């Protein structure tokens, strides 16, 4: 299956492009980016075509892997989906719920396959933990994604404009939700408040009556980083295992899964557009609550 890459930044080069070059049954056909120079550089590095326009790319491929900010990804994904291209979206699927709905509608109408790359759900050891823990009647969860990429002077994400403007909610929030939702079920109510910088603390009430406490930031002081998810209930207490599978291998698995779905060899995957849309809905509600509480 011929894939095009949309995006030329750090994540596009170090994860998407490497996975596209390595995945079985995938032909990495070319790349388009919003800046010609980086587009040519990435194309030369991987020996693929540099497309002059996104329309030229769409006309030449069967599927598209997206590595651009969510506000850019959503409208382009809707165009690609309407053109019948299979989609591998990075998380979050979009930055607004109405745009996520447009993507889902375009894909549904064209019959294309689509997945959202929530990293943990494509790391076999973490995905197996989710499968094993699912349906055990958990009553509560605590999720912490306390990270420092916007406080670390050596971070490759320091120039990421969308991370500065949208904060941890839209960057690491999807990581937390992608694990909490399968294990505690649908969310019916959210309360949230913002602290210093992009620090957010939230409580989600699930349809089952379970509660999840969330906290995240991208601006933690160095040395304060912590990523953790714990659940408790009648089955006891469990903790998310550390991932052994790196991001490139996880994305290679996502590409392989997308091809299998598109070819009818696999029925689907939990990290589909419906799931991605639900993540966007909850992130939007958290953002709204933080804004209300900041007054």
Q: What is the pLDDT of residues 270-295, one digit of tens each?
A: 999 999 999 999 999 999 999 887 75
> How many residues make up the chain in this entry?
295
Residues of the chain predicted below pLDDT 50: none
Q: What is the pLDDT of residue 295?
A: 57
pLDDT, residue 201, reads: 98
Superfamily (CATH H level) for 124-241: Dihydrodipicolinate Reductase; domain 2 (3.30.360.10)
pLDDT at 222: 85
Full DSSP string of 116-153: EE-GGGGSHHHHHHHHHHTTS-EEEEEEEEE--TTT-T
Q: Distance (Å, rounded) from C-alpha 152 to C-alpha 167?
A: 15
Sorted by where each begins, the domain ranges of the chain are 2-119+247-270, 124-241
Query: What is the largest distance, in Å, between two alpha-carbon atoms of the chain?
Result: 57
Task: In whole angstroms, give the CA distance from residue 66 to residue 87.
Answer: 8
Q: Which positions ≥6 away from 62 have C-beta within 8 Å?
A: 1, 2, 3, 85, 86, 262
Contact indicator for 289, 192 with CB cutoff of 8 Å: yes
| 31 contacts 39 by C-beta, under 8 angstroms | yes
Q: Look up the CATH superfamily of 2-119+247-270.
A: NAD(P)-binding Rossmann-like Domain (3.40.50.720)
């Amino acid at each position: 299956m011929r894939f095009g890459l949309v995006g030329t930044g750090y994540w596009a080069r170090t994860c998407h492009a490497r996975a596209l070059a390595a995945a079985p049954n995938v032909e990495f056909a070319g790349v388009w980016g919003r800046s010609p120079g980086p587009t040519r550089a990435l194309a030369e590095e991987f020996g693929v075509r540099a497309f002059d326009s996104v329309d030229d790319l769409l006309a030449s491929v069967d599927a598209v892997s997206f590595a651009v900010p969510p506000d850019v990804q959503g409208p382009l994904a809707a165009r690609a989906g309407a053109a019948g291209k299979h989609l591998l979206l990075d998380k979050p699927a979009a930055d607004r719920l109405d745009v996520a709905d447009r993507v889902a509608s375009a894909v549904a109408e064209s019959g294309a396959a689509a997945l959202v790359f929530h990293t943990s759900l494509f790391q076999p050891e973490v995905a197996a933990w989710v499968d094993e823990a699912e349906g055990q009647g958990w009553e509560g969860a605590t999720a912490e994604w306390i990270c420092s990429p916007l406080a670390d002077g050596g971070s490759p994400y320091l120039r990421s404009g969308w991370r500065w403007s949208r904060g941890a909610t839209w960057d690491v929030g999807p990581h937390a939700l992608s694990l909490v939702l399968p294990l505690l079920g649908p969310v019916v109510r959210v309360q949230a408040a913002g602290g210093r910088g992009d620090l957010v603390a939230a409580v989600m009430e699930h349809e089952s009556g379970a509660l999840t406490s969330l906290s995240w930031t991208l601006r933690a002081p160095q040395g304060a980083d912590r990523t953790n998810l714990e659940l408790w209930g009648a089955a006891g207490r469990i903790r998310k295992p550390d991932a052994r599978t790196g991001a490139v291998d996880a994305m290679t698995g996502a590409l392989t899964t997308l091809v299998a779905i598109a070819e009818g060899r696999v029925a689907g995957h939990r990290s589909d557009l419906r799931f991605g849309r639900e993540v966007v809905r909850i992130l939007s509600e958290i953002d709204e609550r933080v804004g209300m509480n900041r007054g």
